[in-house]
């Protein structure tokens, strides 16, 4: 029996191809894009930045690679003329039903469904330009139909991820975490991301069929992982076909 599509999955089926067909004529070869899905504490954000640097330095090109992580929320707010307070809700972490009720009571506008739809539109718009790395926010699902996209999952054991999160430099602006607190944070955020993907896209974030490569940062340094991510992309001086 076929699983019914979520409203956003159905939206992607129609909007994804439409946006993908709008590559600017001036960009003969806009270049590939990369999506990084990550377990909390596995180093996905750092790997994205390192891979972006490697790819930007690979050869002459008028545009560097750009990494869209928290910056994506600012871009969505700007592109869709939303209040700045909305940025706090533009995450890939599905909140609980209680939080959803609170949002309704405080009058979050636009509602979460529409915010996710605007997130999809922004990801599709940036992807058509190319040379972009998207961290999380279901980008591997949003761009699954894009031939130029490469999708990577970054994982690690809970214990190693907790050690990374407990490093005082891991979470700038926040008090250092104990190992127990880091484990709890990793499990909480992983569950929230799984709920986000399941609720809005009816997909399993851990489904290996959604990725071209899975990297385990228990066994790889962040630099090694970044080089492997960059290696999935052809030389920037050669058109990506």
Q: d(Cα 46, Cα 40) in Å, to the nearest integer?
A: 12
Specify which of 56-60, 79-83, 209-213 reaches the highest per-range mean pLDDT.
209-213
Domain ranges of the chain: 7-20+30-228
At 36 the pLDDT is 97
Which class is domain 7-20+30-228? alpha beta
- State yes or no: pLDDT of 237 exceeds 60: no
What secondary structure, in 3-state letters, does 172-224 show? CCCCCCCHHHHHHHHHHHHHHHHHHHHHHHCCCCCCHHHCCEEEECCCCCHHH
Q: Which residue has the higher pLDDT, 32 or 109?
A: 32
At 216 the pLDDT is 98
Q: Tell me what percent of the residues of the chain surpass a pLDDT of 70.
A: 71
């Amino acid at each position: 029996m076929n699983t019914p599509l979520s409203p956003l999955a159905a939206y992607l089926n129609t909007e994804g191809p439409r946006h993908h067909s709008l590559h600017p004529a001036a960009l003969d070869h806009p270049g590939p894009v990369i999506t990084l899905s990550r377990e909390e504490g596995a180093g996905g954000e750092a790997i994205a930045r390192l891979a972006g640097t490697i790819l930007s330095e690979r050869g002459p090109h008028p545009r560097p690679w750009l990494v869209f992580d928290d910056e994506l929320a600012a871009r969505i707010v700007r592109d869709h003329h939303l209040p700045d307070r909305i940025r706090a809700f533009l995450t890939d972490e599905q909140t609980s039903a209680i939080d959803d009720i609170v949002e309704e009571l405080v009058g979050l506008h636009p509602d979460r469904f529409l915010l996710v739809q605007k997130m999809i539109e922004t990801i599709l718009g940036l992807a058509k330009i190319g040379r972009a790395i998207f961290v999380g926010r279901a980008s591997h699902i949003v761009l699954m139909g894009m031939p130029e996209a490469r999708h990577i999952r970054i994982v690690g054991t809970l214990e190693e991820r907790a050690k990374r999160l407990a490093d005082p430099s891991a979470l700038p602006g926040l008090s250092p975490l104990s190992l127990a607190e880091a484990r709890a944070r990793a499990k909480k955020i992983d569950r929230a991301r799984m709920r986000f993907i399941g609720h809005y896209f009816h997909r399993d974030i851990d489904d290996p069929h959604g990725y071209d490569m899975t990297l385990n940062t228990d066994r790889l340094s962040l630099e090694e992982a970044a080089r492997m991510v960059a290696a999935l992309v052809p030389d920037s001086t050669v058109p990506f076909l």
